[in-house]
Amino acid sequence: MEYWALVTGAAALVGLLVAFTYSRMVTREDAGDEKMQSIAAAIREGAMAFIRREYQVLAVFVLVVFALIAIFIWYKPVDVVDGQRVIGSGVYTGIYTALVYVLGAICSMTAGFVGMNIATKASVRTTRGAEKEGIGKALTIAFRGGAVMGLTVAGLGLLGLSLVYLVFVKWWQVVTDPAGQASIIAGFGLGASSVALFARVGGGIYTKAADVGADLVGKVEAGIPEDDPRNPAVIADNVGDNVGDVAGMGADLYESYVGSIVAPITLAATVFALSGSSGVVKGMLLPMMIAAVGIISSVIATLFVRSKEGSHPARALNAGSYGAALLTTIGTLFVVIFWLRGVESVKNPVGFWVSIVSGLIAGLAIGWISEFYTSDRFPKVREIAKSSQTGPATTILAGFSEGMESTAGAIIMLVGAIAAAYLAGEWAMPDVANSGIYGIALAAIGMLSTTGMTVSVDAYGPIADNAGGISEMSGRPPEVRRITDSLDALGNTTAAIAKGFAIASAGVTALALFKAYTAAVGITVIDLARWQTVVGMFLGGMFPFLFSSMAIKAVGRAAYDMIEEVRRQFREIPGLKDGKEGARPEYARCVDISTKAALKRMVPPATIAIVSPVILGLWDVQALAGYLAGALVVGFLVAIFMANAGGAWDNAKKYIEAGNLGGKGTPTHAAAVVGDTVGDPFKDTAGPCMNIMIKVMSVIALVFAPLFLR
Amino acid sequence: MEYWALVTGAAALVGLLVAFTYSRMVTREDAGDEKMQSIAAAIREGAMAFIRREYQVLAVFVLVVFALIAIFIWYKPVDVVDGQRVIGSGVYTGIYTALVYVLGAICSMTAGFVGMNIATKASVRTTRGAEKEGIGKALTIAFRGGAVMGLTVAGLGLLGLSLVYLVFVKWWQVVTDPAGQASIIAGFGLGASSVALFARVGGGIYTKAADVGADLVGKVEAGIPEDDPRNPAVIADNVGDNVGDVAGMGADLYESYVGSIVAPITLAATVFALSGSSGVVKGMLLPMMIAAVGIISSVIATLFVRSKEGSHPARALNAGSYGAALLTTIGTLFVVIFWLRGVESVKNPVGFWVSIVSGLIAGLAIGWISEFYTSDRFPKVREIAKSSQTGPATTILAGFSEGMESTAGAIIMLVGAIAAAYLAGEWAMPDVANSGIYGIALAAIGMLSTTGMTVSVDAYGPIADNAGGISEMSGRPPEVRRITDSLDALGNTTAAIAKGFAIASAGVTALALFKAYTAAVGITVIDLARWQTVVGMFLGGMFPFLFSSMAIKAVGRAAYDMIEEVRRQFREIPGLKDGKEGARPEYARCVDISTKAALKRMVPPATIAIVSPVILGLWDVQALAGYLAGALVVGFLVAIFMANAGGAWDNAKKYIEAGNLGGKGTPTHAAAVVGDTVGDPFKDTAGPCMNIMIKVMSVIALVFAPLFLR
């Protein structure tokens, strides 16, 4: 039975092969003339330089954590065999977990590298495609570029987990204890989390430092348009789109994806304990089977993304997203019924399918709520735009209160999914402890099973954005820019939905991991009546606020350095501002400033996120549970609030720029720009970091559970 | 032994008598010339009109809740006497709780009325005192005005509780069940909470609608100075100081004060159960004894507030605050040792004293942290002022991130106090269940025992502020304004500290009430591993965000109406803007707009706060516990964040206005004004509402506990 892991691995390989094919298709496209290529090369070099240096920092970090896990984590060091105390199998937990951890990290880094590599290639080809053949071609190239990232993320995640399962659970049965096995599998999740944490925090700081810096000096002070090649920070700004929106978002969803598969695997051991060893195996493999269905569905759905002449490109992307969701919904119904047949304790397999679907629906619904609050087709954004008429203060207050309000809908969807998934899980396995919690974990997978498609659609956005930048800098005719702008605008909406999805999935995944942690440390009750739990909860609730504060301050300081550098170049390089022939800005210095700032400032918050759960866990396992719960609730709220407030401000500004309420150059527009600038680090730095933070804390708790139990 | 409640009642009466004396002293002062008196009368009328109408709304509300309590709450409706089932004593719980509820509400309304009445009288006399005799006299009048409010709040709270105890627990022993008694006593707290909720929300909306409206049209559009009599909203603005900062803050701290005494009383029944009935009585009376010490200490400490010639008035106020704290610290040591002698299960009475003092210290420390983040003597405010040099966006981001950061220090103090109070409580009564939780409840009283002084010092601020307004409007010489301004500036700092205190005490009181609720519904374990608890916690965490959003929107809309009205008057009343003789603005219409807006918009959020815990409790008592926990953690964080961010923006603006970084009229100043305007509804509307919200939810849960158990 365990060999079904080969099937899931094969599905993952299919995803990777299709990704490779799309990658070849993209690179075979025309890369444009020399000027376009030289600009694209500059962006590419900046992005690659950043990722190389980020990975150097990460390598040190991963090695340290590797050593800590190998040394400190073991489980049941002593077994009793025939009345004799012998060294227990659990002593190997640490070294295996550590190895798997490194594998998880390497897979994540590889996915990030591959995705960014193709994104930087796809963007210039998208510009060229728009120029030569129009919007249909541009859309195809940009989407295929995104799909490479999407399918690589999902494929490497599932392939890695399938291998870990086969090697460490099936073949190399040294660690036989379920808790030890759980720790080993969770190691893969921790690897994903470590990389994601740094990629998100570093990428988020990078992209906004460059963006804010470029905008404030370029557009506001010097009065030159966006993406103008005279602006020394313009390359850094475009690099930022890649390292933040492609690599950062990809690593984020990779982590959610892996985490959502890890959580039910680790829960399966206890939930299916009464169903015999074959039941446990089935329970452990079910999440991977669902993920396999999701990958195949995503691969098929990529074929639906075709731009017909005259039809809106949004249709094409929606066909992909909803197609993948629909195929997964149908596919998982068959898989659940087929796979759980014969497992005696599962009375109603369809119950688990309901759990899966409730997650999928909640993910979509939270995405729609994000759209409602952040799209100018709906009243919220227009009201913020209107409030800009009375100045920046009312703009801020309006966006702030709408962002806070938006948490209500998201939370109601989330708790609805939790309740439905739990009750359906209990119905599936009546009278089995934790079956409802297994249902919640399946809801997380349901939400994330179509990660391949979600990331594809999302990574498409920054590619289109970069294509616009390249068009501007290389002096293409304005109609090219118009095409890329329309693709980019669409990308903003898909990005908002993907952000909602990323947050929702982070919330549910963290909840599932939280449950997995409590199962691993064997606490059946997390008692809020204990003072330690209350203390943990207050500290956990505070941490998202502290983390956000650190992230926002990091952007502010890095942007300040960037502004100084741009001012210096305008001052010292003769003729630069007026665009004289031969006056070339020193792009590389700006790229360097963003890179250094991001790498330096990502370390303190990331370190606290990783170290604090261990400290609390060593003190009191329930205090850690309270800590995770507090961080989860507050982190989720802050993430939703920041994403939606930031998105709404951004689009209120764009709504005014489109000519409404007086348009560009009015005081109303100036007020809206203030809102947008405030929203930038909310939605692209601090907010997304919350997703990772809540997951990384839970997975740390899960991996280090054996340490806390000693 | 129960007759010691007469002693605590007597201490309360002493406080009330001193309040009466101060009131006579203030009213005997010179009220100035006719012009001053007519302005003061206008403010007074506006304030009284508002409070009358607010109380009308409240009366309806209180009657409805009275009926609901009387009908729905009963406890153990059936007793078994000699094998016969008879109507149980618990059926009377509802009607008694309802009566006590009304008493609690009436005491709170009375305190609010008395405090506002004297505040409106004291402010004009402060102006006159400043004019005739200088700063010493002005300080004395303003402080005595505040002390009337402070001592009335504490006196009525303790007197009411002493009476309730004597009547319903000692004499009229129909309800003998401890849980029923707890519900009756908690009824007093709910009465306080109901009034506080409406007073805070309504007052907060009123004051900021008037303030923002008056500022935006007056200062910004029409270019006339603050408090200029030509501005039609100026009276409403001054009324707002009274209804928001005097009545609202007073009701808030009254509620905390009552709640902090109620919580340990209701816990005492279980904690002292092993010590026999005399032990239970001692445990129930101890909180009142501590409160009595606090009142007497506050009364004595009011005598320390004397302004010596040449010394800074801050010294005088600090002498009062620290004097009261010190006297309470010493006094409670003796009381605890004396009172708990002979209670066998209390091994180390000093332990409870440590609990009390840990609360007192945490309250002061959180106040200091507030000061650190909101006073321009410290770097944070100066950095925000500096960030105004790069425009409003960076001002907002700086204040936002500092506000978020400030939660860390406050939370650490809070959890430190929780841990210390718990462990000290356990040490005091080893091996007794919940003794640590009783310790936490005592920490809340420790923090609030000096409420008499805290409110005095705090209510002094708006009196000085109003005195400045009256001076301006009545055309006093500038040196009068200078004196009131210096008193007002000092008031800003004391207000920030009092705000920190109010939040800290709300947090600890809510926690103690939360524990009292769980004891009342008999859940020894609040299990976060149950899905219902998790759902409750997410919903509870969301509520402060939703509430804040509603409060901020209410201010925005009311301010908008106010702006429209002021613009209309400037347009339609000939000569008003230029200050021509005979052109009088219609102040009353502006007062009316604020009043109506506040009354209308306070109802929806307040209703949700009151109804939602009942709905959750009827569904699942643990879900309600999760709801309370989520709301407590998030509400506390939001309260601290908003108070400190708002205070910091306010003082950054004042710092620039004092001539730093270019001073008034520069773009830097304009950016700082944006920060201040955003901060206004944060610190004076939404933020303070959080205090009440978290307490009112807990006390609702406590009062309705019998309903959930049926």
Asked if B422 reaches chain A (Cβ–Cβ under 8 Å), the answer is: yes
The predicted structure's pLDDT at residue A310: 67
How many whole angstroms separate alpha carbon A192 and alpha carbon A696?
9
Pair of tokens at residue A17: 């092969």
CB contact under 8 A, B625 and A528: yes
Pair of tokens at residue B641: 């964040």
Helices B531-572 and B621-657: crossing angle, nearest 10°? 40
Q: How confident is the model at residue B85 (pLDDT cuts 50, 70, 90)?
A: low
Best B220, B547, B633 member to test A by mutation, with max A CBs in 10 Å, is B633
Q: Which residues of A touch B627 (CB under 8 A)?
A: none
Could you read off the pLDDT of A566-615 as tens digits, one per residue?
888 888 888 887 777 777 888 888 888 888 888 888 889 988 999 999 99
Could you tell me the residue ranges of all domains in chain B?
Answer: 4-709
Is it the case that residue A88 has pLDDT exceeding 60? Answer: no
How many whole angstroms separate alpha carbon B150 and alpha carbon B111?
9
Pair of tokens at residue B317: 């106020």
For A256-261, what is the mean pLDDT? 90
- Looking at per-residue pLDDT, the higher value among A32 and B424 belongs to B424
For B548-552, what is the mean pLDDT? 95
Locate all alpha helices (DSSP H) within A578-619, ordered by sequence. 587-619
Q: What is the mean pLDDT of chain B?
A: 88
The predicted structure's pLDDT at residue B86: 59
Q: Which residues of B touch A549 (CB under 8 A)?
A: 401-402, 404-405
Is it the case that residue B418 has pLDDT exceeding 60? Answer: yes
CA B156: distance to chain centroid?
A: 15
- A residues 538-597 closer than 8 Å to B (CB): 538-539, 541-542, 545-546, 548-550, 552-553, 555-556, 560, 563
The predicted structure's pLDDT at residue A89: 58
Asked if A677 reaches chain B (Cβ–Cβ under 8 Å), the answer is: yes
Could you read off the pLDDT of A656-693 as tens digits, one per residue?
988 999 988 899 999 999 999 999 999 989 998 998 89
How many whole angstroms separate alpha carbon B8 and alpha carbon B25?
26
- What does each C-alpha distance from A609 to A73, A405, B197, B400, B636 come to in angstroms? 19, 27, 37, 21, 21
> Residue B387's closest CA among A157, A36, A677?
A677
Contact status, residue A361 vs residue A332, Cβ threshold 8 Å:
no
Contact status, residue A539 vs residue A632, Cβ threshold 8 Å:
no
Could you read off the pLDDT of A169-207 as tens digits, one per residue?
778 766 666 667 777 888 999 999 889 888 888 989 998
The predicted structure's pLDDT at residue B298: 95
Best A542, A543, A669 member to test B by mutation, with max B CBs in 10 Å, is A542
Structure ipTM: 0.92
Closest Cα in chain A, distance from residue B586 (Å): 24
Which of A415, A546, A673 is opposite residue B408, by nearest beta carbon?
A546
Is it the case that residue A436 has pLDDT exceeding 70? Answer: yes
Side-chain-side CA neighbours of residue A428 (13 Å):
30
Could you read off the pLDDT of B18-57 as tens digits, one per residue?
999 999 999 999 988 888 998 899 899 889 888 888 898 8
Asked if B383 reaches chain A (Cβ–Cβ under 8 Å), the answer is: no
How many whole angstroms separate alpha carbon A92 and alpha carbon A98?
10
Is it the case that residue A348 has pLDDT exceeding 70? Answer: yes
CA B709: distance to chain centroid?
A: 31
Helices B178-214 and B478-520: crossing angle, nearest 10°? 150
Is it the case that residue A70 has pLDDT exceeding 90? Answer: no
> Residue A229's closest CA among A579, A502, A620, A532?
A579
Closest Cα in chain A, distance from residue B464 (Å): 27
| Amino acid (1-letter code) at residue B577 | K
A303 exposed, middle or buried (CB, 10 Å; 0-12, 13-18, 19+)?
Answer: exposed
- The secondary structure element, H or E, covering residue B80 is strand B78-81
- What does each C-alpha distance from B388 to B333, B678, B682 come to in angstroms? 49, 14, 19
Closest Cα in chain B, distance from residue A535 (Å): 5
Side-chain-side CA neighbours of residue B379 (13 Å):
0
- The secondary structure element, H or E, covering residue B86 is strand B84-87
Q: What is the mean pLDDT of chain A?
A: 88
The predicted structure's pLDDT at residue B640: 94
Phi-psi region of A79 (alpha: psi -120 to 50; beta: other; left: phi over 0): beta
For A366-372, what is the mean pLDDT? 90
The predicted structure's pLDDT at residue B665: 86
Is it the case that residue B525 has pLDDT exceeding 80? Answer: no
> Residue B448's closest CA among B185, B635, B254, B266?
B254
Side-chain-side CA neighbours of residue A332 (13 Å):
35
- Paired residues of B84 in beta bridges: B81
Asked if A400 reaches chain B (Cβ–Cβ under 8 Å), the answer is: yes
> Residue B562's closest CA among B529, B586, B532, B533?
B586
Q: Which of the residue ranges A296-300, A427-431, B72-76, B163-167 has the most confident prediction, judged by mean pLDDT? A: A296-300
Parallel/antiparallel/unpaired status of strands B78-81 and B84-87:
antiparallel
How many whole angstroms separate alpha carbon A394 and alpha carbon B382?
24
| Amino acid (1-letter code) at residue A335 | V
The predicted structure's pLDDT at residue A158: 96
Q: Which of the residue ranges A222-231, A275-284, A466-475, B104-113 has the most confident prediction, judged by mean pLDDT? A: B104-113
For A345-371, what is the mean pLDDT? 92
For B511-532, what is the mean pLDDT? 81
Contact status, residue B460 vs residue B384, Cβ threshold 8 Å:
no
Contact status, residue A509 vs residue A265, Cβ threshold 8 Å:
no
Pair of tokens at residue B189: 């707290």
Which residue is associated with the tokens 């119905």? A427
CB contact under 8 A, A545 and B511: no
Q: Which of the residue ranges A76-80, A383-387, A493-497, A529-533 has the most confident prediction, judged by mean pLDDT? A: A383-387
The predicted structure's pLDDT at residue B168: 83
How many whole angstroms separate alpha carbon A284 and alpha carbon A262?
9
The predicted structure's pLDDT at residue B76: 56
Q: How confident is the model at residue B73 (pLDDT cuts 50, 70, 90)?
A: confident
Best B212, B395, B397, B638 member to test A by mutation, with max A CBs in 10 Å, is B397
Q: Which residues of A touch B402 (CB under 8 A)?
A: 549
Closest Cα in chain B, distance from residue A240 (Å): 20
Q: Which residues of B touch A437 (CB under 8 A)?
A: 529, 531
How many whole angstroms separate alpha carbon A298 and alpha carbon B427?
61
Closest Cα in chain B, distance from residue A679 (Å): 9
Contact status, residue A419 vs residue A443, Cβ threshold 8 Å:
no
- The secondary structure element, H or E, covering residue B15 is helix B4-28
Asked if B526 reaches chain A (Cβ–Cβ under 8 Å), the answer is: yes
DSSP state of B89: G
Helices B587-619 and B621-657: crossing angle, nearest 10°? 150
Contact status, residue A355 vs residue A419, Cβ threshold 8 Å:
no
Could you read off the pLDDT of A25-42 as tens digits, one per residue?
999 999 888 889 988 998
CA–CA–CA angle B484, B689, A405 (5° rounding): 125
Could you read off the pLDDT of B368-405 as tens digits, one per residue?
899 899 888 899 999 999 999 888 999 999 999 999 99
Q: Which of the residue ranges A449-463, A629-643, B431-445, B547-561 has the most confident prediction, judged by mean pLDDT? A: A629-643
Is it the case that residue A427 has pLDDT exceeding 70? Answer: yes
Contact status, residue B121 vs residue B27, Cβ threshold 8 Å:
yes
- Percent of chain A surpassing pLDDT 70: 95
- Percent of chain B surpassing pLDDT 90: 45
DSSP state of B525: -
How many whole angstroms separate alpha carbon B17 and alpha carbon A603?
60
How many whole angstroms separate alpha carbon B587 and alpha carbon B600?
20
Is it the case that residue B84 has pLDDT exceeding 70? Answer: no
Q: How confident is the model at residue A528 (pLDDT cuts 50, 70, 90)?
A: confident
Phi, psi of B705 (to 5 degrees): -50, -45
Question: CA end-to-end span of chain B, whole Å?
Answer: 34
Which residue is associated with the tokens 């099936």? A170
Contact status, residue B449 vs residue B261, Cβ threshold 8 Å:
no
Best A400, A518, A638, A644 member to test B by mutation, with max B CBs in 10 Å, is A400
Helices B435-448 and A531-572: crossing angle, nearest 10°? 50
Pair of tokens at residue B482: 């200078």
CA B577: distance to chain centroid?
A: 38
Q: Which residues of B touch A553 (CB under 8 A)?
A: 401
Is it the case that residue A401 has pLDDT exceeding 90? Answer: yes
For A51-59, what is the mean pLDDT? 89
For A200-219, what is the mean pLDDT? 84
- The secondary structure element, H or E, covering residue B692 is helix B687-703
